[in-house]
């Protein structure tokens, strides 16, 4: 019973942390505008970069990555108190909850970003080697295709695969870790459904091209 309650607490705290949407915070704080009413309407780093530039994008990325890291580490500590050595399980639950908070932020009308940066922060806190492998794939695709959405979708697909391999290597519960990774990946891919349609139609935005 205590473990279940602590897991619920970890999920709630992570969701509330995830709900601090730094794209909205930065756009309102620095420019007195809501990024969700600009460009693509998304509150993520890419739309911030296109709209306001590198400084705002860097702040947004750092904040969204950071909240993923903090959510996981906090849950790791809390769940580790009731199950010594098992903090990882609380961390994975928190990772999922933080992504949900980013997608549907409590503080900002349940309209947030697409979850890539906060998921990356959560992966950094749970599986640094997996994040490194995913980052290599992401940047290789991003530089070769100049399509950020395609890079995000591909790494989301690969995330459960790399998680399974890493879990087998480390002796973790592969079903639990891979299941959590698969759900997080599915959420990120679902949030990119409009991008997928444009990719299939050949109309997706390439970074650096002029807006039509």
Q: Are 122 and 67 in contact (CB under 8 A)?
A: no
151-189 pLDDT, tens digit per residue, is 999 999 999 999 999 999 988 889 999 999 999 999 999
Tens digits of residue pLDDT in 91-143: 999 999 999 999 999 989 998 889 999 999 999 999 999 999 999 999 999 99
Nearest to 157 by CA among 128, 132, 192, 124: 192
Determine the 3-state secondary structure of 210 from DSSP. coil
pLDDT bracket for residue 84 (50, 70, 90): confident
Paired tokens of 168: 């087998």
**34 Cβ partners below 8 Å, 6+ apart?**
24, 27, 28
**Do 151 and 142 touch, CB atoms closer than 8 A?**
yes
Which of 37-41, 69-73, 193-197 comes out lowest in average pLDDT? Answer: 37-41
Rounded to an integer, the average pLDDT of 76-83 is: 87
Q: Which of 86, 119, 82, 88 is nearest to 101 (CA)?
A: 119
Q: What is the mean pLDDT of residues 5-16?
A: 93
- Contact 64/117 with Cβ under 8 angstroms? yes
Q: Residue 80 pLDDT more than 70?
A: yes
Cα–Cα distances (Å) from 12 to 98, 109, 141, 155, 175, in that order, read 9, 17, 35, 27, 23
Question: In the chain, what percentage of residues exceed pLDDT 70?
Answer: 98
Instruction: Please determine, for residue 210, whether its predicted confidence score (pLDDT) is greater than 70.
Output: no
Q: How many CB atoms lie within 10 A of CB 41?
A: 12
Looking at residue 164, what is its pLDDT?
Answer: 96
Average pLDDT over residues 56-72: 96
Cβ-count burial of 62 within 10 angstroms (0-12 exposed, 13-18 middle, 19+ buried)?
middle
**39 vs 63: which has the higher pLDDT:** 63
18: CB partners within 8 A, 6+ apart: 67, 68, 71, 97, 98, 99, 100, 101, 102, 105, 118
Q: What per-residue confidence (pLDDT) applies to 112?
A: 87
Q: What is the pLDDT confidence band of residue 211, given thresholds at 50, 70 and 90?
A: low
**CA 44, CA 26: separation in Å to the nearest integer?**
11
């Amino acid at each position: 019973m205590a473990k279940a309650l602590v897991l619920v607490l970890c999920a709630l705290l992570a969701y509330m942390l995830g709900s601090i949407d730094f794209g909205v915070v930065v756009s309102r704080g620095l420019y007195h505008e809501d990024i969700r009413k600009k460009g693509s309407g998304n509150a993520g780093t890419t739309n911030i970069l296109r709209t306001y530039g590198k400084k705002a994008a860097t702040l947004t990325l750092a904040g969204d990555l950071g909240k993923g890291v903090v959510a996981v580490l906090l849950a790791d500590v809390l769940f580790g108190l009731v199950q010594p050595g098992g903090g990882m399980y609380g961390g994975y639950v928190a990772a999922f909850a933080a992504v949900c908070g980013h997608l549907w932020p409590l503080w900002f009308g349940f309209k947030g970003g697409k979850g890539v940066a906060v998921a990356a922060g959560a992966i950094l806190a749970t599986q640094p080697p997996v994040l490194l492998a995913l980052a290599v794939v992401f940047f290789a695709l991003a530089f070769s295709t100049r399509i950020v959405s395609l890079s995000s979708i591909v790494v989301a697909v690969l995330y459960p695969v790399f998680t399974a391999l890493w879990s087998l290597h480390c002796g973790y519960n592969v079903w639990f870790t891979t299941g959590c990774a698969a759900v997080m990946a599915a959420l990120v891919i679902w949030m990119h459904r409009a991008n997928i349609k444009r990719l299939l139609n050949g109309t997706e935005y390439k970074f650096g091209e002029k807006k039509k």
